[in-house]
Structure 1
Amino acid sequence: MKKILFIVISALLVFAACKSRKADVPKDTDVFYTCSMDPQIMESKPGKCPICHMELTAVKKSNSEEMDGIQLSEQQIQLGNIRTDTIKDGTIGDQMTLSATLNIDESKINIVSARVAGRIDKLYYKNIGDHITKGSRLFDLYSEELNNAKQEYISVLERQRTLDNSIIDFTQLAQAAKNKLLLWGMNEAQITELATTKKYVALTSFYSTASGTITTLDVKEGDYVTEGGSVVHLADLSVLWAEAQVYASQLSLIDQKGDAVVQIPDMPGKEIKGRIDFENPEISPDTRINLIRVTIPNYNNQLKPGMPAYVTLKSRQHHSLSLPVDAVIRDAKGASVWVRTGKNNFENRMVETGLEADESIEIKSGLQEGDIVVISGAYLLNSEYIFKKGADPMAGMKM
């Protein structure tokens, strides 16, 4: 009996000793070690940063912080100038400003083409950007077909002069030969000179049928052109298009009959009034972006295609939640805001944004009326979150 009692007492002493040794090993799970230069480093024990080799700093986790939240002290809030405001339902709209680019009015592009096949012997305008007035000598062409037609016309005129009393109506033959020359691009003055001198030259000059600036030169001297082949593209730059991109969600807010004002950043103070005259009927499925076009006059050709511009459109006001633009943090993952969930506690939330107007931005989803949102210091909160938790608060979040 004594032997059994001794064994039981020994076992109890061993168990107590083991329990005592476990209790002697403190383990603080609320502390981790990070680097002030590389906050993504998070270690469970002290040491040096594997990136910059600085001593790691102990940081205590706050049990009150949520997964996507952060807690700040009163001093941090004051130093970071973190201010909040309660989001309310209000109106946003009245006008919308879009980024745009000035482009050539494609409805005012004229193509000067060869009326007959031949070889370009000489070009009188050889540079993109040269301005050509209607009637200017454009190029000289050598054409066997045209030269044969010239000889035919001279021959008919000679026979008409000598055999005018015959039964053959040379007047109609002469008119038919002349019409062929007109069809192949010769003008009345050239034909009259040919009929007067009864001599022709191998090269025929052709003149521009329109005024404009050269945007495309399709031939060079020595090239052969076919009948109808393009020689030069001329653009009338007295009118330009201001083409702006607009998101599909904003289309319903645009007044198609409203006024538009185009501003040119390269010309401060210059504003040009116009109206929307085209909206692309097809929306890009990848970007969800549509194109609208405003036609504007180009007085004295001061504006150049390719210039950046801003298009301000009158839009209809509507009720919506809105915040100051600086309250919203935007990157490739989307948009988010910081919401106060307690006295000094803040939580990051993804939001869907809409219209921007007058330094305000529409919040379409992600918040509700009455939420207290950080309107100043949101980026500082973001940085503090990354420092403490070593991750972007928007990483892995979904709307």
Structure 2
Amino acid sequence: MNNTSIGLIAILALAVGGGAGYWLAQQRPAAAAAPAAAQQQALYWYDPMYPQQHFPAPGKSPFMDMQLVAKYADGNADSATPAVQITQGVQQNLGVRLTTVTRGRLERTLQVSGVLAFDERKLSVLQARTAGFIERTYARATGDRVTRGTPLADVLAPEWTGLQEEFLALRRVGDADLQRAARQRLLLAGMPAELIERVARSGKVQNRVTLVAPEAGVIQALDLRPGMTITPGSTLARINGIDSVWLEASVPEAQARGLREGQAVQATLPGFPGETVPGKVTALLADADLQSRTLRLRIELPNADGRLRPGMTAQVTLHPAPATDDSLLLPAEAVIRTGQRDVVMLAEDQGRFRPVEVTLGQESGGQVAVLRGLQAGQQVVASGQFLIDSEASLKGIEATTAPDSPPAASPLQQESRP
């Protein structure tokens, strides 16, 4: 065998040996990884399109035409409490801001709006007490403001004329008992006491009676026309006093706790900027609005100068009675409200976050009371929680309640500011 053949054989042997070595080198990591994967226990299987649905065994997804994907526990995480892990740098890039759950009393302040209305307790009705005819009116109309005793119309009352003549005749007789009986008859016929005294003083029959406003206020209805006939019991005028007005406001039923009758309020009106009108809650109406789920309040505002007019809008500041016991407080912006439940992203050590379902109480001034699910000292995400919640949903991490969980250490010991 010549030298050339020996050289070719040597080169061929080196090539075969090198290729076999390379193949073995490639197979060792795979062979080493296979036992490791076999030893790692899958928590559950899921469909990436529906990560919230978990399956106990592998197989085909009932939702999509694809195989289920195994979910393994993180190497540095507790498999019993799956969470989203985010590094400190990514947290800063996402603008994640944490806030601490504190304990204190919730100072509640409610701002509600309403429309002014007449005080119905100051409504006066002028009715005809006898049949008659209207001879004259005094040029009054609906909406006019009148004072007590303002003349409205002159009425001719034939029935009262006969009774007055009988009363004067008995006075001339001089029998005191008959006089008292005649006066009582005039009163029972509906004749005003002022008219009876005028007849007694003058000794003359008063054929015409002047109808006057019984109270000061605004004429809301007026049915008086010259020449018309009136019958007993017919309503001739309705006058509503305006020295006080009502403000009817609506309060969400979830915020109505602590409101009571007699509570002082402060009202502001767009028509009088920079001014406040003191008032008080006079009634918590018994019915609630089925559409808006609100309770109605009746607030009384003084109106001695007559500036407040029914139909004007006003805003009222209410101060419900504070809670007697301390409660857990949390910024309302940290809560994710789904309509069916309330969730917060609880911050744990090593940059881990997990959703926790909470039960909320009253809310005021950007703070909300937490009744169940958290403890004082724990930290939750106040900004950027929606991005973390989306990541948790993709990983199939469901919100759980943790009423007994101890305060967890946080990567940010103090509340960070944006």
Determine which of 304, 313, 326 is the counterpart of 1:319: 326
State the alpha-carbon separation in 1 of the partners of residues 264 and 176 from structure 2: 67
Distance verdict in 2 for CA 1:169–1:352, change over 3 Å: closer
The one-letter amino acid of 1:134's match is R
Go from structure 1 to structure 2 and tell me whether the alpha carbon gap of 1:234 and 1:368 turns closer, same or farther (over 3 Å shift): farther
**Partner SS, residue 315 of structure 1:** coil
1:227-246 pair list within 5 angstroms: 227-243=232-248
Is 1:262 the counterpart of 2:266? The answer is: yes
- Out of 111, 123, 144, the position equivalent to 1:130 is 144
> Counterpart in 1 of 2:359?
351
Alignment counterpart, residue 149 of structure 1, candidates 131, 154, 160: 160
Higher Cα radius of gyration: 2
2:5 matched residue in structure 1:
none
Partners of 2:198 and 2:166 lie apart in 1 by 14
Using the size of structure 1 for normalisation, the TM-score is 0.59
Contact conserved, 2:260 with 2:281, CA < 8 A, in 1?
no
Equivalent pair of 2:164/2:199 in contact (CA under 8 Å): no
In the alignment, is the contact (CA less than 8 A) between 1:353 and 1:365 conserved in 2? no
SS at match of 1:153: helix
The Cα of 1:211 is off from its aligned counterpart by 0.8
* 1:109 aligns to 2:123 (yes or no): yes
Q: What residue in structure 1 maps to residue 217 of structure 2?
A: 212
Q: Is the 8 A contact 2:131 2:159 kept in 1?
A: no
CA contact (8 A) 1:178 1:191 kept: no
Please report the TM-score for the alignment, with normalisation by the length of structure 2.
Answer: 0.57
Q: Does the aligned pair in 1 maintain the 2:267–2:278 contact within 8 Å?
A: no
Partner Cα separation in structure 2 for residue 80 and residue 152 of structure 1: 94
How many residue pairs are counted as aligned between the two chains?
Answer: 329
Q: Could you tell me the percent identity over the aligned residues?
A: 21
TM superposition shift of 1:300: 2.2
Q: 1:90 aligns with which of 88, 104, 111?
A: 104
CA distance, structure 2, for counterparts of residue 167 and residue 255 of structure 1:
60
- Where 1:326 maps in the other structure, the secondary structure is helix
Q: Counterpart of 1:310?
A: 316
Return the offset for 1:347. Answer: 1.8
RMSD of the TM alignment (CA)? 5.3
CA apart distance, 1:362: 1.6
For residue 210 of structure 1, report the CA deviation from its aligned partner: 0.6
Candidates 353, 375, 378, aligned match of 2:382: 375
Structure 1 unmatched runs, 5+: 1-27, 34-42, 46-59
CA distance in 2, matches of 1:279, 1:388: 47
5 Å matches for 1:141-290?
A: 141=155, 146-154=157-165, 157=168, 164=172, 175=183, 179=187, 183-185=190-192, 187-188=194-195, 192=199, 200=207, 204-215=209-220, 217=221, 219=223, 221=225, 227-243=232-248, 253=258, 260-264=264-268, 266=270, 267-279=272-284, 282=286, 284=288
Q: Is the 8 A contact 2:131 2:232 kept in 1?
A: yes
* Structure 2 SS opposite 1:209: coil
Change (3 A) 1:152 1:262: same
Q: Deviations over 1:278-336 (max 9, x none)?
A: 455x5759798655555432242333345232233263353011112322345754644
Displacement, 1:78? 3.7
Post-superposition offset of 1:238? 2.0
Amino acid at match of 1:323: L
- C-alpha spacing 1:333/1:115, structure 2 compared with 1 (3 Å): farther
The runs of 5 or more residues in structure 2 that have no matched partner are 1-44, 51-62, 75-79, 402-418
- The amino acid of 2:161's aligned partner reads K
- Find the aligned partners of 1:75 and 1:120 in 2 and give their Cα distance: 90
Shift of 1:209: 0.8
Distance 1:140 1:188, change over 3 A: closer
Going from structure 1 to structure 2, the CA distance change for 1:29 and 1:244 (only over 3 Å counts) comes to closer
Letter in 2 for 1:262: Q
Q: Which amino acid aligns with 2:309?
A: K
User: By how many angstroms is 1:180 displaced?
Assistant: 6.0
Distance in 2 of aligned mates of 1:64 and 1:355: 38
SS at match of 2:319: strand
Relative to structure 1, is the Cα distance of residues 366 and 188 closer, same or farther in structure 2, using a 3 angstrom cutoff? same
The alpha-carbon distance between structure 1 residues 133 and 348, as it changes in their structure 2 partners (threshold 3 A), is same
Asked if the contact 2:186/2:196 (under 8 Å) is kept, the reply is: no
Note closer, same or farther for the CA distance 1:284–1:332 as it changes in structure 2 (3 Å cut).
Answer: same
